[in-house]
């Protein structure tokens, strides 16, 4: 019985793509720049697998890696979570989602306000922590939610949990999804709840994402359609609108995500375990917190032996990312980067798989490994590592 455990380290990029300058991301290198800024990064288990052996990793190399290693480029002209995960799952977009770097047109905001029956504050492209610092007090006085976006295709709604209860905030996001996201091809609506008071507002872990429905089947549909389990951990169920998923664990931080992954590995059935670990991006990348990002990486590295110990003979572990979010640059947005790939398992031989043309090579390899034929996009690398 074969299984693939696919873990996405959200935003852990490994170097600027050739077109990064078009996105304002020239020089971005999430892993390499953190290593340089701190004068080192203690990741002994990831290094042993071969993380530093990836082309231009700027990390320590391992003489005898225990995993296969490489990096992947993104075909979709984007750098957001949804596009990255969809391409990993074998669906690259010909036309990227719409972005609004100057804020949303007034008619879009009015459409939302009419449908939601509420006024709004903000309507700017901004850092989430900065906009609640700036508008949090006014929000508490007026009761109006804060609407904002970023360099990515997102319609974000922030609200104090004591002013707009969570279920009401989620309802506002569902309204935005129905009247704004689908109509204007916005990748995600995101609930951004926070707590605290003036001078001390802070975001909570009750975030919720509402992504557009994938326009074509993904590898999740193929695996579940073949009668195998697809266990989603973290925000995977949101990114894929629950489609193609047989079990879900909606965790809110890396610790719980790793625990849920271990629980999934203890299950007997074959298929796919698909995990997103969000803290790197949500808590540290977007806040330019280099130390916090490094500590999160080291925490994952420290728990990696638990994951490898839970693998069975027919399991293959894939560790990757979905984009970058370099905390050493002035930008607080995602960065257009290559993503790393480590493949590990009893039947996986340590080998370089080079620089791959698309994230969809992961889907092609997963589908082939599970005996489901050939995927429509990407090129499987299994022949190089099994």
CATH 3.30.70.1250 location in the chain: 106-210
* Residues 342-381: b if buried by 16+ CB within 10 A, e if exposed: bbbbeebebbebeebebbbbbbbbbbbbbeeeebebbebb
Q: Which listed CATH number (3.20.20.370, 3.40.50.920, 3.40.720.10, 2.60.120.40) goes with 3-95+212-385?
A: 3.40.720.10
Q: How far is CA 301 from the centre of its chain?
A: 18
pLDDT for residue 172: 98
Quote the radius of gyration of the chain (alpha carbons, Å).
Answer: 20
CATH ID of 106-210, from 3.30.70.1250, 3.40.109.10, 3.40.50.150, 2.40.50.140: 3.30.70.1250
Rounded to whole angstroms, how far apart are CA atoms 197 and 83? 35
DSSP 288: T
Helix (H, G, I), strand (E, B) or coil at 353: strand
Distance, CA of 193 to CA of 273 (rounded, Å): 28
Nearest-angstrom CA–CA distance, 382 and 151: 35
Give the global pTM.
0.89
Distance separating alpha carbons of residues 64 and 53, to the nearest angstrom = 10
Start-end of CATH 3.40.720.10 domains in the chain: 3-95+212-385
Please tell me the predicted confidence (pLDDT) of residue 64: 98
Per-residue confidence in pLDDT tens, the chain, 386 aa: 899 999 999 999 999 999 999 999 999 999 999 999 999 999 999 999 999 999 999 999 999 999 999 999 999 999 999 999 999 999 999 988 999 989 999 999 999 999 999 999 999 999 888 999 999 999 999 999 999 998 889 999 999 999 999 999 999 999 999 999 989 999 989 999 999 999 999 999 899 989 899 999 999 999 999 999 999 999 999 999 999 999 999 898 999 999 999 999 998 789 999 999 999 999 999 999 999 999 999 999 999 999 999 999 999 999 999 999 999 999 999 999 999 999 999 999 999 999 999 999 999 999 999 999 999 999 999 999 99
């Amino acid at each position: 019985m074969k299984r693939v455990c696919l873990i996405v380290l959200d935003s852990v990029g490994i170097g600027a793509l050739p077109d990064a300058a078009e996105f304002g991301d020239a020089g971005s290198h999430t892993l390499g720049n953190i290593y340089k800024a701190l004068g080192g990064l203690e990741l002994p288990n990831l290094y042993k697998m071969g993380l530093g052996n990836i082309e231009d990793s700027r990390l320590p190399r391992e003489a005898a890696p225990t995993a296969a290693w490489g990096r992947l480029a993104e075909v979709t002209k984007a750098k957001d979570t949804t596009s990255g995960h969809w391409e990993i799952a074998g669906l690259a977009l010909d036309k990227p989602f719409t972005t609004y770097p100057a804020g949303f047109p007034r008619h879009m905001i009015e459409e939302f306000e009419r449908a939601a029956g509420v006024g709004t504050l903000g309507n700017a492209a901004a850092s989430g922590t900065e906009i609640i610092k700036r508008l949090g007090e006014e929000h508490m006085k007026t009761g109006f939610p804060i609407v904002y976006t970023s360099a990515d295709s997102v319609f974000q709604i922030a609200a104090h949990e004591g002013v707009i209860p969570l279920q009401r905030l989620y309802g506002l996001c569902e309204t935005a999804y129905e009247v704004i996201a689908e109509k204007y091809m916005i990748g995600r609506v995101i609930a951004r709840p926070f707590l605290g008071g003036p001078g001390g507002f802070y975001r909570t872990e009750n975030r919720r994402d509402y992504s557009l429905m994938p326009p074509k089947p993904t590898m999740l549909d193929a695996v579940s359609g073949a009668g195998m389990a697809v266990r989603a951990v973290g925000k995977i169920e949101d990114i894929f609108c629950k489609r193609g998923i047989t079990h879900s664990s909606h965790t809110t931080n890396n610790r719980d995500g790793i625990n849920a992954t271990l629980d999934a590995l203890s299950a007997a059935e074959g298929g796919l375990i698909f995990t997103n670990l969000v803290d790197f991006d949500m808590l540290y990348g977007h806040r330019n917190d280099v130390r916090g990002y490094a500590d999160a990486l080291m925490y994952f590295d420290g728990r990696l032996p638990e994951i490898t110990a839970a693998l069975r003979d027919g399991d293959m572990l894939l560790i990757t990312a979905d984009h970058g979010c370099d905390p050493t640059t002035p930008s607080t947005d995602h960065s257009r980067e290559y993503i790393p790939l480590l493949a590990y398992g009893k039947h996986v031989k340590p080998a370089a798989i080079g620089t791959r043309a698309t994230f969809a090579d992961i889907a092609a390899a997963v589908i082939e490994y599970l005996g489901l034929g050939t995927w429509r996009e990407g090129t499987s690398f299994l022949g190089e590592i099994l």
